[in-house]
Amino acid sequence: MIRRVFLGNEAIAWGLLKEGVSFATSYPGTPASEILEAVIKFNEEYKLGIFAQWAINEKVAFELALAHSWLGGRSAVSMKQVGLNVALDPLMSAAYTGVKGGFLLISADDPGPYSSQTEQDSRFLAMFAKIPVFDPSSPKEAMDMIKEAFELSERYQIPVMLRPTSWVCHARQGILLEEELKPTSKKLSLEKDLYHWAALPRRRYVLHKELNEKLRSIQKENGFKRISFNGAKKAVVSSGFPFALLMDVLKSLGLEGSVDIYKVDRPFPLSPSLNDELSSYEEILVLEETYPVIELQIPYREKTRGRLDGTVPSQGELKPENILKALHLLLGDFPFEKINDLKEGSPPRLCPGCPHRATFWAIKKAFPQGFFPSDIGCYTLGLEMGAVDAFLCMGAGVSLAEGFYLALKNAGQKIPPICATVGDSTFFHACIPALIDAVNKKAAFVLVILDNATTAMTGGQPTPSNPPKNLRKVEMEEVIKGCGVEFIKVVDPFDYPEMERSLKEAYAFSQEKEAPAVIISRRPCPLFEEKETQKRSFILKLFRENCKSCMLCVSESRCPALEKGQEGLVIHQHLCRGCGLCAFICPNQALILTEF
């Protein structure tokens, strides 16, 4: 036995490789990012020689993995839940066409939400697409379910979903492994299968019928376990992370035997035999995240408690306190007192030394009356600096800017300077069609692409313009030019006066030519540079005699390394990365950055 402590996402990666996946791809997004990272790491460590690479977005990733499956190999594609919205088109269709080699879609949900725009439940999208979904409760279980998921996928030639949530992905668990990873080899075969791969609408009806038959057969395979079965009058049905919470809460209350417990491994399609078993209970409590997917498949409305009747809250993640309250409503035979929730802590901020901070500061200076759409990435944190007014989903930074401009123009109203911000990875992911549309429609706004040479928020994955060494680089400037943009300027955000000048210049161009103008604000993210050159060559000094405690450095930069203390400004030296923005902001030469 090998002892390893695995992050949930590492356990998933191990499970994929143990089951002989030969093609894995993904687009990064919390909480799914470390799955492919770990696949890449294990692939190198064990010299497995599989294809493991990041894709430009989730839709492309899904389609790459499907092609591999159609050739007979086992494929895995991982993404966060909102990423699956982007890949929904191929998913819906692939459910009909079916797969050949086992095909596992991993869609990681984020109840809370901690790092997402929605709390959507991917299991509903599995139901919508009519594919089976597995719902693990721990890293170990996620790893073990992968075997069953691949076997099911191959038995019925159907895509299968594994749906972990944040606290499965980002739990760390000690796991005993039977053996190390070994390379497996399987030959692919390109045999055309027009019946499935090229089905016109009329045959799609037939494929739909076949899909329904597959689901009926899958339903007969149980997909649930009896965990505790003492002939109690009440039962709890649970799946995923809430099951783990439930077991710990019952143990802490000493109530292990007082209620029968069913654990659902496969929430869709739910086995009819589970409903048969549930029919005899007086009351049933359903604990699942985040939407009532299992609950809606239980036909006994009057005696079922859960999200639909308010026993379990309809939003937010489940915590031990929610489980306790739900059990109290079900069993009512233990003391229960409401505990006040944790006070809110300090919100996330842009890191010290972040080049985005400097860009946002310049945008505010250049366009004090501006309107600022943004996008999904670290830079949503520009909100704190007052330089972000709206964001929606990947790519919408550009289309929102275009939409606001066109709407106001069409209404004949005054249009403020519109300046949108998007990151480099986000630009390639979903902004290109929007930018072409904006050129077509003569939308006059400034687009700032925050090019920090990485996908920073999710841990520093490569981008098309900064790919790993063995891949070909795509020049961002060339792509922008190819979209029809005529103003493109690359600026170092730490050259503060130049950035402000360039923004104004871009705005003037956009107004004159009725066209989008693009600034590329280029400077690498210090988080991922640091690993190679972790040396301090500067110190930020405070000259108290000059400081008038105006605190502009704090309020304008919102830098975590600066704080207003009781006796004036405090510099947290261990956080400072020496970008010097605060020294530039200071009107009194009280902050000086010195190199040594």
Partner 1 sequence: MEFKIVIAGKGGEGIIFMTRILAEGAFSIGIPVISSEIHGMAQRGGSVISQVKLGKFYSPFIPYGSADFLIATSKEEGERNKIYLKPDGISVVNSPDPSPFHVDASGLAQKINHPKGANLILLGFAINKMGFDEKPFLEAIEKFSPSFLGEKNKKAFLFGFSISKEKSS
Beta strands in 29-150 (DSSP E): 51-54, 75-80, 103-108, 133-134
Q: CA 402 to CA 420: how far, in whole Å?
A: 9
Considering the complex, state which of residue 269 and residue 460 has its C-beta at the smaller distance from partner 1.
Answer: 460
Size of the site for partner 1 (CB under 8 A): 52
Count CA atoms within 13 Å of residue 287 on its CB side: 29
Q: Is 135 in the site for partner 1 (CB under 8 A)?
A: no
Binding range to partner 1, per CB under 8 A, among 167-175, 304-312, 396-404, 406-414: 167-175
Closest to partner 1 by CB, 132 vs 139, is 139
Is residue 244 part of the contact set for partner 1 (CB under 8 A)? Answer: yes
> Whose Cβ is closer to partner 1: residue 174's or residue 416's?
174
β pairing state of 283-287 and 260-264: unpaired
Cα(405)–Cα(395) distance, rounded to whole angstroms? 16
Q: Shortest distance, CB of residue 430 to partner 1, whole angstroms?
A: 18
Of 242-250, 254-262, 425-433, 545-553, the window that binds partner 1 (rule: CB under 8 A) is: 242-250
Measured from the CB atom, is 247 or 476 closer to partner 1?
247
Name the one range near partner 1 by CB under 8 A: 38-46, 70-78, 149-157, 166-174.
166-174
- Dist CA 505 CA 522 (whole Å): 17
Which residues 307-326 are close enough to bind partner 1 by CB under 8 A?
319-321, 324
177, 14 contact by CB (below 8 A):
yes
Residues 246 and 282: beta-carbon distance below 8 Å: no
Tell which residue, 209, 222, 52, has the closest CA to residue 134: 222
Q: What is the rounded CA–CA span in Å between residue 296 and residue 304?
A: 10
- Near partner 1 by CB under 8 A, which window of 25-33, 60-68, 144-152, 433-441? 25-33
- Smallest gap from Cβ 431 to partner 1, in A, equals 20
Q: What is the CA radius of gyration of the chain?
A: 27
568 touches 515 (CB < 8 A):
no
Q: Which residues contact 18 (CB under 8 A, 6 or more apart)?
A: 143, 146, 147, 181
Which CB sits closer to partner 1, 143 or 503? Answer: 143
Question: What is the Cα–Cα distance from 330 to 498, expressed in whole angstroms?
Answer: 65
Tokens of 524: 């690498």
Q: Does 574 bind partner 1 (CB under 8 A)?
A: yes
Q: x/- site string to partner 1, residues 457 to 496, per CB under 8 A?
A: xxx-------------------------------------
Query: Which residue stretch of 128-136, 192-200, 236-244, 578-586 sits at the interface with partner 1 (rule: CB under 8 A)?
Result: 236-244
Contact stretch for partner 1 (CB under 8 A) within 2-10, 66-74, 211-219, 480-488: 2-10
**Residue carrying the six token digits 């010097």:** 580
Supply 276's token pair. Answer: 């048969």
* Torsions phi, psi for 98 (to 5 deg): 80, 175
Indicate whether 248 belongs to the interface with partner 1 (CB under 8 A): yes
Residue selected from 50, 162, 247, 540 as contacting partner 1 according to rule CB under 8 A: 247
Q: Is 380 in the site for partner 1 (CB under 8 A)?
A: yes
Question: What are the Cα distances from residue 550, in Å, to 116, 405, 565, 566, 568?
Answer: 36, 37, 12, 13, 9
Judged by beta carbon, residue 15 or residue 102, the one nearer partner 1 is 15
Cβ contact 244:171 at 8 Å? no
- Contact string 171-200 vs partner 1 (x = CB under 8 A): xxxx--------------------------
Q: In terms of CB distance, is 325 or 409 closer to partner 1?
A: 325
Is 30 near partner 1 (CB under 8 A)? yes
Amino acid identity of residue 329, one-letter, is L
Question: Contacting partner 1 (CB under 8 A), which of 243, 268, 361, 367?
Answer: 243
H helix or E strand, kind and range, residue 569: strand 568-571
Binding test (CB under 8 A) with partner 1, winner from 410, 531, 565, 595: 531
Q: Cβ distance 53 to 462 under 8 Å?
A: no
Give the footprint of partner 1 on residues 322-361 (CB under 8 A): 324, 339-340, 342-343, 345-351
Paired tokens of 74: 């086992």
Q: By CB under 8 A, name the binding residues for partner 1.
A: 3, 5, 7, 30-31, 33-34, 114-115, 137-138, 167, 170-174, 241, 243-245, 247-249, 252, 319-321, 324, 339-340, 342-343, 345-351, 378, 380-381, 457-459, 531, 534, 560, 573-575
